[in-house]
A = this chain, B = another copy of it.
Amino acid sequence: MAKFCIGIDLGGTFIKVALLDEQRRPTPTREFETPIHEGPDAVVAAIVASARRMVKEHGLAKGDLLGVGIGSPGPIDISEGVIITLPNIPGMDNVPLRELVSKGLGLPAVLENDANAAAYGEFIRGAGVGTANMVLLTLGTGVGSGIVVDGKILHGAHDMGGEWGHVVVQPGGEPCACGQAGCLERYSSATYLAQYATRLIREEGRDSSLSKLLDQGKTLNAKDIVDAAKAGDELAAEVWDRATYHLAVACVNISRIFDPDCVVLGGGMARAGDELLVPVRRYFRQLHWALTPVRMEIHLASLGPDAGVIGAAGVAWSGLGDGCDT
């Protein structure tokens, strides 16, 4: 009889659930509302109920299940299985989520941070399939990342590894909310590139078709920039170019440090498709050393918003199952 692991992706809006069989084939993902204003007990109860419902809908019994993997925003203590705090869900402070969900479902559980889970999802089922070493950069509000080395997620000594969004790519550069200056996130995230365009127009008086949107009271987003760049807006093209250049610098550094098979670009900005991929790949080849040929590939993520829930179930398989990284 086929066995399954349950994947849970805990977010500030939805609890996503999917099941993954031994061949790492996922069921479609189901979303259930996160009861964010009812305290930790309600959140745990909602996770358990969501998972049970999913199991029932697929006609599975408890004996068909190996365990559950939970992906959660941080900061979390992965080895202890504890949520330290969650900015988007009030009251989730020092909650031993792994133990509570494990008890609620009567199954062994593992806890992983959501960026790592997304990277692992792409690794086992998305753009990283067939590789052993992969880095995911998620380009959205910020720049998230997860790193897979020899088939395993890199955690570091205090579960804080894999923060490519806060790697300094311009010493002394743009100040970042984290307290550093010149972080990748300040150049290549959707939020900050739109902010940069706004700054150039509003504070430096630069001319751009985007000023019409600002005059309408709109907050610019990454799609506005790409669309304007495609339509020939010079300022938008310059802003987009700056973001792709710094992403390519990060890719060169990833290549030097990890020598991975590939870097995978995900998150909202990856929806720009070739508008993102082509310039990043071009700059990457330009900036890459000459000592060895370019071997690292750069791909767009392929699982979209399901990467995290699939990865969470995958982490459960790898932590509780046969250890096979199929």
Contact = CB atoms under 8 A, between A and B. Distances in A.
A166 B259 contact: no
A178 B290 contact: yes
A253 B168 contact: yes
Contact of A257 (B75, B257, B287): B257
Nearest to A160: B259
Given A133-B156, A133-B157, A295-B158, A179 B289 contact: yes
A288 interface: yes
B259 A180 contact: no
Interface string A150-189: 1010111111111110111111000010111100000000
A291 interface: yes
A48 interface: no
A149 interface: yes
A256 interface: yes
Given A157-B260, A158-B292, 12 more contacts: A131-B157, A149-B154, A155-B259, A160-B292, A161-B260, A167-B253, A178-B290, A178-B291, A180-B287, A180-B289, A253-B253, A257-B257
Most buried by B among A150, A157, A168, A181: A157
A298 to B, nearest CB: 14
A261 interface: yes
Contact of A259 (B152, B161, B181): B161
Please provide the 10 A-B residue pairs with the shortest distance between their CB atoms, ordered closest to farther.
A156-B259, A179-B290, A161-B259, A178-B289, A160-B259, A163-B256, A157-B261, A179-B289, A133-B157, A167-B253
A16 interface: no
A113 to B, nearest CB: 12
A140 to B, nearest CB: 18
B167 A256 contact: yes
Interface string A292-319: 1001100000000000000000000000
A89 B157 CA distance: 39
B257 A167 contact: yes
Interface of A: 75, 131-133, 147, 149-150, 152, 154-164, 166-171, 176, 178-181, 245-246, 249, 252-253, 256-261, 287-292, 295-296
20 contacts: A133-B156, A133-B157, A150-B152, A154-B258, A155-B259, A156-B258, A156-B259, A157-B259, A157-B260, A157-B295, A158-B259, A160-B259, A161-B258, A161-B259, A163-B256, A163-B257, A169-B171, A170-B171, A171-B287, A181-B287
A184 to B, nearest CB: 9
A156 B258 CA distance: 5
Contacts of A257: 147, 161-164, 167, 257
Contacts of A133: 156-157, 161
A249 B168 contact: yes
Contact of A289 (B156, B166, B260, B288): B166
Contacts of A159: 259
Contacts of A156: 133, 258-260
A291 B287 CA distance: 31
